[in-house]
Amino acid sequence: MKGFDLLQVGRILDRIFLGVVVSGIAMTMIWLGFVAYHGDFQPFPTFGADAQINQITGWFLVGFGCFWLIWAISFGRRAIRFDWPNPAFAYLLSLAAVLVGSLAWYVSIPMLNALLDFSPKIVTPVYVQRKSSTPYRTLHGTKLTGRSAVVNRLDHPEEHVDVSWQWGCKGVAGIPSRIATIKLGRGAFGVPWFSLPAGCRPLAVDERPLSQDFYLGKGRAAVLVALRTGRPQSEAAAARADDYARRKSDLLASLTRLAEGHSKLSNEDAYNATADARFVLTEGEQEELKRILQPLPGKREQEMAIGRQALSFVKAAVFKRDRAKLLELWTRAIESRFPDAEMVILADSAPLAPEHRAACPHCREILEQELDSEILEVFMAGKDPWEDGSHIYDADRMGQMIFQAALSDIDQEPRLLQKLALQSASSAAIPVR
């Protein structure tokens, strides 16, 4: 080969080598822009094809390495032909350029696979099976978290595709649905990819069953009773329950003696009743009882009237804590007019006691651990259904809450019946008797 020809070929190889490195760096700068915009180190994630894109990247890097070897031979021959100084430093610089270029193209090839894909993107619904987070550190020691998800296309339920899910549902109000939509592309290199963020929406209350085959909504109304069923699990708790029962019995006995005129010392019975009330009634109820008993002692007829008033007040206060009796009253009122109304009891910590099952024999029982917590959170708008005791709720045919009341607030019964009547008027889902 003539010297001129060797030099000319060498110059061409130099320019190609430099062009590959510089263009790789330029692609990396563009990639960094997309990283900053998306907030994700994988702005153009593949759809279950990481191995395929890695194979293409591997072929490119092998080709780049072979090209460098050809360039190195050409450079060495030119150094010998033209008696250049020791070329070792030039070789070291070229190796550094190879390293930089390889890293630059490694991150740029997935981006080019997406940016050079001019085919129309297909909006594809996917089901998010599960999501996971993996903490890691950068070279500078910064703590970051990588998020991924296992998804499948709705028409391919057998799929288990691992995808990057960083900010997959960014900006969704409420609990995101597990059904999302992605824009899926074929890829310029034949590697399928999708763009982030995914098209997500809040979880719908009727999207999944609340428990097993029971759905909220789906065109059928339901009455939900969130019942506190916690039972004493320790000896201390059992002792407190026994003490409550004993104090309640003593309180009612003292007031009964006053009401029936059998009290020998009315002020003593009043004192005992006040003392027992500390373990049975709330502070506000205790103050009201003290106010009622304050006129004692007095004439016999006056004492009996005060006793009857106090006894009626305490019975009403105690009755509000008898969940079985309250449940029975609500059940009778609802079933007397709406015999086919669906009633469901949500038990918070333990199965229903026999007295609760007897109070609502046709009610469906669901334990808290059997509930879909996300669906329940959507229905309750993030509130605890058992907060501050037992409650009753009415879900309309769309699964929306249209009524709520404490189980003890039996005065709200007409309002619930009115709600059920309005629903039955617009649908045959609940026949009225």
Domain ranges of the chain: 3-113, 122-199, 222-232+322-426, 236-319
pLDDT at 344: 93
Q: Which residues contact 116 (CB under 8 A, 6 or more apart)?
A: 188
pLDDT at 175: 81
Tokens (6 digits) for 142: 């910064």
Give the separation between CA 175 and CA 75, rounded to whole angstroms: 62
Q: Per the CATH hierarchy, to which homologous superfamily does domain 222-232+322-426 belong?
A: Glutaredoxin (3.40.30.10)
Query: In 3D, which of 166, 182, 191 has the Cα closest to residue 125?
Result: 182
pLDDT at 365: 92
Give the separation between CA 43 and CA 227, rounded to whole angstroms: 48
Query: In 3D, which of 216, 187, 172, 166 has the Cα closest to residue 37?
Result: 166
* Residue 296, φ and ψ in degrees, nearest 5: -70, 150
pLDDT at 237: 56
pLDDT at 301: 84
pLDDT at 223: 92
* Rg, Å, the chain Cα set: 38
pLDDT at 432: 42
Helix H, strand E, coil C: the string for the chain is CCHHHHHHHHHHHHHHHHHHHHHHHHHHHHHHHHHHHHCCCCCCCECCCHHHHHHHHHHHHHHHHHHHHHHHHHHHHHHHHCCCCCCHHHHHHHHHHHHHHHHHHHHHHHHHHHHCCCCCCEEEEEEEEEEEEEEEECCCCCEEEEEEEEEEECCCCCCCEEEECCCCCCCCCCCECCEEEEEEECCCCCCCEEEEEEECCECCCCCCCCECCECCECCECEEEEEECCCCCCCHHHHHHHHHHHHHHHHHHHHHHHHHHCCCCCHHHHHHHHHHHHCCCCCHHHHHHHHHHHCCCCCCHHHHHHHHHHHHHHHHHHHHCCCHHHHHHHHHHHHHHHCCCCCEEEEECCCCCCHHHHHHCCCCEEEEHHHCCHHHHHHHHCCCCCCCCCCEEEEECCCCCEEEEEECCCHHHHHHHHHHHHHHHHHCCCCCCC
Per-residue pLDDT of the chain (433 residues; tens, 9 = 90+): 444 466 777 778 878 888 888 888 888 888 888 877 766 667 788 887 888 888 998 898 888 888 888 888 887 877 777 777 777 777 788 888 888 888 888 888 888 898 899 889 888 888 888 877 777 665 556 676 767 788 888 888 888 888 777 666 666 667 888 888 888 889 998 888 888 777 888 888 998 899 988 999 888 889 999 988 765 445 665 676 677 778 888 888 888 888 888 877 787 888 888 888 888 788 888 888 888 888 888 788 888 888 888 888 888 877 777 788 888 888 988 888 888 888 999 988 778 888 888 888 889 999 989 999 989 999 998 888 988 778 899 998 898 999 998 888 878 888 888 888 877 666 544 444 4
- Does 122-199 carry CATH code 3.40.1580? no
β-partners of residue 277 are none
pLDDT at 170: 63
330: left (phi over 0), alpha (psi -120 to 50) or beta: alpha
pLDDT at 163: 79
pLDDT at 423: 75
pLDDT at 429: 47
CA dist list (Å): 138 to 31, 104, 142 = 18, 17, 5
pLDDT at 409: 82
> Residue 33: how many CA atoms within 13 Å on its side-chain side?
7
